């Protein structure tokens, strides 16, 4: 049997796992009644009306001022919105316009006054005006934007929704083969090479990451709109939850209590410990993750962990591997809010309705970017662990498909889920959710990256903001007649025009260095040359965990000027110009990046 497609035999494991979940009675392990659990989920399963959905969506996108003139805003916010809208592609703008119209109609029904006309926001081009161009140079029209890459290459320079529109238009009137056919296999997708470097989650400043998520919300909606998929997002409602403990505690609360012990913690300690314990006992155990522990024993272990985990008194040496795996799955299921969040769970489920694996992967990439940081980091830790289990499939008999069908109900069936859907709905969701989990595992190295077209839009917004700021400075200069004031715009460094770049390293004794700019110069080369200097010789001892996990605190007591570091401890950052700050991957070609951001500065940091 192919290990790249789901078959009936493997789906039997899915239903066995569902039965195990149904019979586990985990609520009693925390002293919760079944009724209490149901009441909580009833509260968080509210689905707003269409107009309310549009209003909530626009608010999340920071665009509520487009339909509600009563929203108090300042000129900076309005200018920011106009700059944001100016960077949108045709499909993205259509997604915004559709929701503005819906919100506008809702406002009219409420008899509110001074509602702006949506036509004033999205005016069609004047007669004879050329259609807008995307920043990649392709028309936002019916050009086949997917023709440049092969079936297994992912084009991240053109908006995914534009590619989906081209796919749809080119296949009108033809029969589209479902990606769920029995012979379907997971392609070996790869990103088209980008000489300006790949951007991963965590590489950007918080300010730029906020812009990314705002754009991603619009783009993901446009992608589903283009495919004709009408999402009905659930509305997250605040509800009473446990604020301390291990099981049934919100991720945010868990991380807050863990970060008091170790600042910078991104994944809950209990999950980290369960994963490490399973791995310490070896990943060759047959049926790992599939074979459940006894329900009564899991209940007792759960209670013991709650009372002894943080005291370090839990007897880990006696915890069986299958029991540890059952506790790991229990932890995921018992989260009061789904790991994939109430807001986006329906969108994740709808991914399987998209017509091609490439579009499914595009949507999954966008939704991963939309997740709150706590959910995203925890999900990443899980899929990395699942891949390590799969790497031992010859011994443990747990293939990609096996792990996916076992974990899908644990991730998607939050507490009380089965009472809210019909048996037919549950059956139809089974293969789809298993497919989504296997995409998460199989393509995890691609999904935690930020597409280049999104990065280009962020750069465009920053440039618009800079132009506005420069104009304001120029006006102030004229009004104050300050002829000695420095020019408002940063000029291109003279060294760059002469074939060199100046790299700064304020944390080191050698605070700057000139590097010759060649066609083949990469970010990794810059770091290697910096370390080759006499006053910064690498050592064979890695920096301590305390340093790498909490640089700011450690720096206070142990200045970096007295330390020696290794190449992997350093990163080169692009700062200023059309980006706030971006950590560069080692394969970034510096000359190409300088052409994209000629006024940037280059800084080496730990």
Range list of β-strands (E), 115-180: 153-154
State residue 548's pLDDT score.
Answer: 38
State residue 487's pLDDT score.
Answer: 53
CA 460/CA 384 separation, integer angstroms: 34
State residue 572's pLDDT score.
Answer: 96
Helices (H) and strands (E) in the chain, counts: 25, 9
**Of residues 46 and 595, which shows the higher confidence score?**
595
The position carrying tokens 């269409």 is 50
Tens of pLDDT, residue by residue over 368-404, are 999 999 999 999 999 999 999 999 999 999 999 999 9
Element (H, E) at 64: none
Q: Which of 231-235, 256-260, 543-547 has the lowest mean pLDDT?
A: 543-547
State residue 415's pLDDT score.
Answer: 67
Tens of pLDDT, residue by residue over 485-529, are 555 555 556 555 568 899 999 988 778 889 999 999 999 999 999
**Of residues 212 and 30, which shows the higher confidence score?**
212
Specify the CATH number of the domain 11-26+233-447: 1.10.555.10
State residue 606's pLDDT score.
Answer: 86
Element (H, E) at 459: helix 452-480
CA 349/CA 413 separation, integer angstroms: 11
- Whether pTM > 0.85 for this model: the answer is no
For the chain, the maximum distance between any two Cα atoms, rounded to a whole number of angstroms, is: 81
| Domain coordinates in residue numbering, the chain | 11-26+233-447, 497-533+565-605
State residue 106's pLDDT score.
Answer: 78
Classify strands 153-154 and 190-191 as parallel, antiparallel or unpaired: parallel
User: Residue 479's pLDDT band (boundaries 50, 70, 90)?
Assistant: low
For 580, phi and psi rounded to 5 degrees?
Answer: -75, -60
What is the rounded average pLDDT of the residues 38-67? 71
User: Residue 601's pLDDT band (boundaries 50, 70, 90)?
Assistant: very high
DSSP state of 61: T
On average, the pLDDT of the chain sits at 80
Beta bridge partners of 581: 575
Choose the CATH number for 497-533+565-605 among 3.40.50.620, 3.40.50.300, 3.10.20.90, 3.50.50.60.
3.10.20.90
Can you read off the two tokens belonging to residue 226? Answer: 């283009």
Please state the separation of Cα 36 from the chain's center in Å.
32
Q: Which of 271, 275, 263, 279 is nearest to 309 (CA)?
A: 271
Residues 6 or more apart from 47 whose CB is under 8 A from it? 232, 233, 234, 235
State residue 133's pLDDT score.
Answer: 44
Residues 6 or more apart from 90 whose CB is under 8 A from it? 132, 140, 141, 162, 165
> Do the beta carbons of residue 573 and residue 604 sit within 8 Å?
yes
């Amino acid at each position: 049997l192919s290990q790249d497609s789901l078959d009936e035999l493997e789906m039997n494991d899915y239903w066995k796992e569902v039965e195990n979940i149904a019979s586990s009675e985990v609520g009693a392990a925390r002293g919760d009644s079944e009724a209490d659990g149901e009441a909580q989920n009833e509260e968080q399963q509210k689905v707003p009306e269409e107009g309310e959905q549009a209003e909530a969506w626009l608010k999340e996108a920071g665009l509520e001022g487009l339909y509600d003139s009563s929203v108090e805003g300042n000129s900076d916010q309005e200018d920011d919105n106009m700059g944001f809208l100016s960077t949108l592609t045709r499909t993205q703008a259509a997604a915004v316009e559709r929701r503005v119209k819906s919100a506008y109609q809702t406002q009219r029904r409420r008899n509110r006054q001074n509602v702006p006309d949506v036509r004033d926001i999205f005016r069609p081009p004047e007669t004879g005006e050329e259609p807008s161009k995307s920043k990649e140079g392709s028309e936002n029209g019916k050009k086949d934007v997917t023709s440049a890459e092969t079936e297994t290459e992912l084009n991240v320079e053109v908006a995914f929704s534009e590619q989906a529109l081209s796919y749809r238009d080119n296949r009108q009137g033809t029969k589209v083969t479902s990606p769920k056919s029995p012979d379907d296999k997971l392609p070996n997708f790869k990103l088209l090479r980008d000489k300006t470097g790949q951007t991963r989650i965590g590489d950007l400043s918080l300010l730029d990451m906020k812009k990314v998520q705002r754009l991603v919300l619009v783009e993901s909606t446009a992608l589903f709109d283009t495919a004709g998929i009408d999402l009905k997002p659930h509305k997250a409602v605040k509800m009473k939850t446990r604020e301390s403990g291990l099981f049934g505690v919100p991720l945010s609360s868990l991380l807050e209590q863990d970060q008091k012990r170790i600042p910078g913690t991104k994944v809950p300690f209990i999950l980290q410990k369960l994963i490490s314990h399973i791995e310490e006992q070896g990943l060759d155990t047959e049926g790992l993750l599939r074979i459940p522990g006894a329900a009564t024993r899991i209940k007792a272990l759960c209670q013991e962990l709650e009372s002894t985990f943080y005291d370090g008194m839990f007897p880990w040496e006696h915890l069986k591997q299958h029991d540890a795996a059952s506790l790991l799955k229990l932890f995921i299921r018992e989260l009061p809010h789904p790991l994939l969040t109430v807001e986006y769970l329906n969108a994740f489920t709808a991914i399987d309705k998209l017509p091609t694996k490439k579009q499914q992967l595009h949507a999954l990439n966008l939704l991963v970017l939309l997740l709150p940081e706590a959910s995203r980091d925890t999900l990443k830790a899980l899929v990395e662990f699942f891949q390590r289990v799969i790497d031992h499939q010859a011994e443990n008999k747990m293939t990609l498909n096996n792990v996916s069908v076992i974990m899908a109900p644990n991730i998607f069936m939050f507490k009380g889920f089965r009472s809210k859907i019909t048996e037919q709905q549950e059956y139809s969701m089974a293969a789809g959710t298993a497919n989504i989990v296997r995409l998460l595992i199989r393509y995890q190295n691609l999904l935690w990256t930020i597409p280049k077209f999104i990065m280009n839009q962020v750069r465009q917004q920053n440039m618009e903001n800079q132009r506005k700021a420069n104009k304001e400075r120029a006006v102030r200069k004229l009004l104050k007649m300050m002829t000695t004031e420095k020019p408002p715009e940063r000029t291109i460094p003279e060294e760059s025009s002469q074939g060199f770049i100046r790299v700064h390293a304020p944390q080191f004794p050698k605070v700057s260095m000139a590097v010759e700019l060649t066609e083949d110069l990469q970010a990794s080369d810059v770091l290697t040359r910096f370390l080759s200097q006499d006053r910064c010789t690498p050592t064979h001892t890695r920096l301590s965990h305390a340093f790498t996990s909490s640089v700011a605190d450690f720096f206070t007591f142990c200045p970096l000027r007295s330390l020696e570091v290794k190449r992997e401890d350093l990163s080169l950052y692009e700062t200023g110009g059309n980006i706030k700050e971006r950590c560069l991957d080692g394969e970034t070609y510096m000359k190409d990046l300088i052409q994209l951001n000629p006024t940037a500065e280059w800084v080496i940091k730990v």
